[in-house]
Amino acid sequence: MIEGEWYMPTAPLFSVRICINKRLNTDKLPNCAGRGSRGLADQIEQLLIQERLPVEVIRGPCMNNCQIGPNIKIHGGELFNLNGDLSEARIAELMVAIRAEVERRKSAAAQTPATETK
């Protein structure tokens, strides 16, 4: 391992699913990939790595909200419909929600009593 390099723990706390679906008839109907979701997934993944957050990015299929995508789902948490808004402010809002979910899950894990093995 190179000094300063970071690797995610074996098991992430949760996943963030980002729709990267691209429809064939893009001239008639919107789609998440056509609204920049693939680049967004890369950007979110890089931010998670930079902040060393144990969260997995899953590039997934359609979530049936194409008209208001790109669509992002925090597993067990919020659903974000970005409605084509990939601004820094909107991405920052998404990262705030991800950080809050990380803290919530870490706190819940710390409060869970450990089982004794005999």
Q: What is the CATH number of the domain that holds 18?
A: 3.40.30.10
- What does the alpha-carbon distance between residue 8 and residue 48 come to, in Å, rounded to a whole number? 9
Q: Whole domain around residue 59: which residue ranges?
A: 14-104
Q: Does a structural domain hold residue 1? A: no
Q: Does a structural domain hold residue 98? A: yes
> Residue 18 forms beta bridges with which residues?
59, 72
pTM over 0.75: yes
Q: Does a structural domain hold residue 19? A: yes
Q: How many domains does the chain have?
A: 1
pLDDT of residue 6: 56
Q: Does a structural domain hold residue 89? A: yes
Q: Does a structural domain hold residue 52? A: yes
Give average pLDDT by consecutive 10-residue segment, the chain, 118 residues. Answer: 56 93 77 92 95 95 89 91 91 95 90 67
pLDDT of residue 29: 79
